[in-house]
Structure 1
Amino acid sequence: MKAVRVHGYKQEPSVDEVEQPDLQGDDDVLIRVGGAGVCRTDLHVIDGWFADVMPVEPPFILGHETAGWVEATGRNVRNMAVGDPVIVHPLRTCGTCWGCRRGEDMYCTASSFPGVNADGGYAEYLRVPARSLIVLPAEVHPAAVAPHADAGLTAYRAVRKAAAILQPGQTVAVLGVGGLGHIGIQLLAAMTPARIAAVDASLTGRELAAETGADDVFGPEDAVEGILRATGGVRADVVLDFVGENGTPGVAINIVRQGGTYLVVGYGGELDIPTMALVLKEVTIAGNLVGNHGDFEGLMALVSAGRVELRTTTYSLDDAPRALDDLDNGRVKGRAVLTPNMS
């Protein structure tokens, strides 16, 4: 089969012919990949950001946002059948550790992360454990939803935290309106009563923010003044930072109100805040790591109801290097998706 592999860090991945995986256990499922989301994390993987924290020996197959159709199942698999469309939770987990038993699979002490420290979904086929899968409605094409396996799931978890805080008349600010941010805006509209203010450095991002439901849209240079004006001088009750670098942490602290909450979703930068400012504002800061299976079910319910729509650009598997380059250079509006098997 064809697969996109990393042969060395800071090197362009290549499309290779590799052996097709087969079932190895009674709980395994073989997926014919219909869509593989192209994520900024993939760029970070290529650049070696995860080499120390999640080591893997190249070559390995990229891709952690995967959806497709069931091709074959192990003999213990009862809740899905060959041909069913499915979406894959991004982590393979043990199901028995402290994190898994409390329903937070992202805390699994024995997990692997396909596309980061194991072979992922930039391929024609992928083998996964059945516990990783959610069966999709028959009419849903996997390529239309694949990025929800990480981008949507991560945004949902952060918005679920925000929804527990936000009340009518309050304001939530979204920093970064790309692959995650445009999903986050739609989720905020569906799950909270708050006014949504969006901030993005690019015209493309600002246009996408307006198209997906933001009430106010600003560039970073006028974010503080704009949000002060929009909130009557109060600032934002919650800030969701889908960037986490290039100055957004500083913007977030400037636009969050006293007693507000700053939810960090994107990563790559550093948080440098004077402790006096943190104490005087009494700001709560929380990180967000993907999402659990309950989050995944909630997200897919909203997707199935038509409350959340992905903006995608599709590429063939052979065009994966171009898709990665387009993402890296800001040419993707929404989310890029590879389509190894179109039918």
Structure 2
Amino acid sequence: MKAVVKHHRGYGAKVQMVDIPRIADDEVLIKVKATSICGTDVHIYKWDEWSESRVNPPYVFGHEFSGEVVEIGSKVTNISIGDSVSAETHLVCGKCSQCLTGKAHICKNTKIIGVDTQGCFAEYVAIPSGNIWVNPKGMPFDVAAIQEPMGNAVHTVLSGDVVGKTVAIIGCGPIGIMAVGVAKAAGAAQVIAFDLNDYRLTLAKMMGATTIVNSKIDDPLHVVQKLTAGNGVDVVCEMSGHPIAMNQGFKMVTNGGRVSILSLPVRPIEFDVTNDIVFKGITVKGITGRKMFETWQQVSSLIQSGQVDVKPMITHHFSLEEFEKGFDLMIEGNCGKVVLHP
């Protein structure tokens, strides 16, 4: 089969012919119909410090996808051939204290499809049946492919109450853009989106942002003070990972508010803990992955009900062989979600 392979410990990737995966008794084989490029994939493609310390080429990468089941293992009873499926990409142990107490999304022994294992930038992918999410009939494959990253947005936004509240989304990458739509659908009174990229801010507006702010032009703290009559925002969803933006998030949140952090700063960041966290009495939440499978149910329902329309932020489609065009757009930031079709 054709696959995009991280072929060496350096920049880039190649399309190569590799063996179709052979499934274990508890796995299913999926013919990939659509696979989207994640920021994590960009890190691996560019070969930064994180990827250099984490992944081991050569291997097939990619982890966001949808497709059709074409083969099931002998022990699989919950999936049928022909099902349209996506997959939870965190492979968990099921044995640690977190897994045993309903918190598998923070399993101590998590491995990630396409990072620690063979991924889905290919014509076929093998996935444990316990990680499979069966999609509603009729859901388009490109939409189904981005449920996994949308789950990150849902988990971040809904890690606390947003009904009637003012929500700041800091960082309008694809997940931040989806978080805008989720916050609006969940009943936020105001959704303020911050970024440096006008293209992505326009997408955030299309997804329901009540105010968009280019932080190169306007002072985010001044804008928030004006929009909230000096009170600050109730909820901050931090998606940027930039030290300045993160500090601004802690300063703009109101006393007793919430800051939920999904972003992954590349190095330690200094905060004014005394004044911006302790004395303000705020709640800080670290967000990783999706609750298994509570978040998946929320994502699927939000899409199927029409409460969140993700189509505006799926901006580009390419064949698998054209993957370099997709990665170039992601690196430049001139796109929403980029979908590849094997």
TM-score (norm 2): 0.92
Distance in 2 (alpha carbons) for counterparts of 1:261 and 1:109:
25
Shift in Å, 1:100:
2.2
What's the counterpart of residue 112 of structure 1?
A: 111
Contact 2:69 2:82 in 1 (8 A): yes
Distance 1:192 1:49, change over 3 A: farther
**Deviation of residue 161 (structure 1)?**
1.0
Task: For structure 1, list consecutive stretches of 5 or more residues without a partner in the other structure.
Answer: none
| Counterpart mapping for 1:1-343 below 5 A | 1-25=1-25, 27-46=26-45, 47-51=47-51, 55-149=54-148, 151-163=149-161, 166-168=162-164, 170-220=165-215, 221-245=218-242, 247-269=244-266, 270-278=268-276, 279-292=278-291, 293-310=293-310, 311-312=313-314, 313-332=316-335, 334-340=336-342
Q: Which whole-Å CA distance do the structure 2 matches of 1:34 and 1:246 have between them? A: 38
The residue type equivalent to 2:108 in the other structure is: T
Q: Secondary structure at the match of 1:162?
A: coil
Q: 1:36 to 1:291 in 2, by over 3 A?
A: same
String of CA shifts for 1:230-269, please: whole Å, max 9, x gaps: 1001111111011112632122123112222211112125
Whether the 8 Å contact between 2:190 and 2:210 is mirrored in structure 1 is yes
After superposition, what is the alpha-carbon deviation per residue over 1:275-296, rounded to whole angstroms, capped at 9, x for unaligned? 3323333333221101121111
- Whether the 8 Å CA contact 1:303–1:309 is kept in 2: the answer is yes
Going from structure 1 to structure 2, the CA distance change for 1:105 and 1:50 (only over 3 Å counts) comes to farther
C-alpha spacing 1:115/1:193, structure 2 compared with 1 (3 Å): same
Identity of aligned residues (%): 26
SS at match of 2:158: helix
Conservation of the 8 A alpha-carbon contact between 2:191 and 2:210: yes
1:58 shift after superposition: 1.1
Are the equivalent residues in 2 in contact too, given 1:87–1:142 (CA < 8 A)? no
Q: Which amino acid aligns with 1:15?
A: V
**Which secondary structure does the structure 2 equivalent of 1:281 belong to?**
coil
* Superposed CA offset, 1:274-326 (max 9, x none): 23323333333221101121111111111111222222121111111221111
Q: Is the 8 A contact 1:63 1:114 kept in 2?
A: yes
CA apart distance, 1:271: 2.8
Shift of 1:111: 3.0
Residues 246 and 338 from structure 1, CA distance in 2 versus in 1: closer, same or farther, beyond 3 angstroms? farther
Matched residues in 2 for 1:178 and 1:254: separation?
Answer: 22
The answer to whether the 8 A contact 1:56-1:118 is kept is no
Worse overlay, 240-249 or 94-103? 94-103
Contact 1:183 1:309 in 2 (8 A): no
Deviations 1:117-155 (CA, angstroms, capped at 9, x unpaired) = 111111110001111011112211222221221x21111
Gapped regions of structure 2 (runs ≥ 5): none
Aligned residue identity for 2:211? D
Q: Is the 8 Å Cα contact of residues 169 and 237 (structure 2) preserved in structure 1?
A: yes
Q: Secondary structure at the match of 1:30?
A: strand
Question: 2 CA distance for matches of 1:215 and 1:120?
Answer: 37
Question: Structure 2: which amino acid aligns with 1:224?
Answer: L
Residue 172 of structure 1, CA deviation: 0.9
- Displacement of 1:23 in angstroms is 1.5
Amino acid in the other structure paired with 1:37: S
Q: Which amino acid counterpart does residue 75 of structure 1 have in structure 2? A: S
Q: Which amino acid aligns with 1:289?
A: T
- Pick which of 58-67 and 275-284 moved more: 275-284
Write the deviation string for residues 37-75 of structure 1: whole angstroms up to 9, x where unpaired: 10111122232444576x443101111112111111112
**C-alpha separation between the residues in 1 aligned to 2:297 and 2:285?**
23
Letter in 1 for 2:341: T
What CA distance in whole angstroms lies between the structure 1 residues aligned with 2:143 and 2:283?
A: 35
- Residues 55-64 or 128-137, more deviating: 55-64
Instruction: Tell me if the contact between 2:90 and 2:289 (Cα under 8 Å) persists in the aligned partners.
Output: no
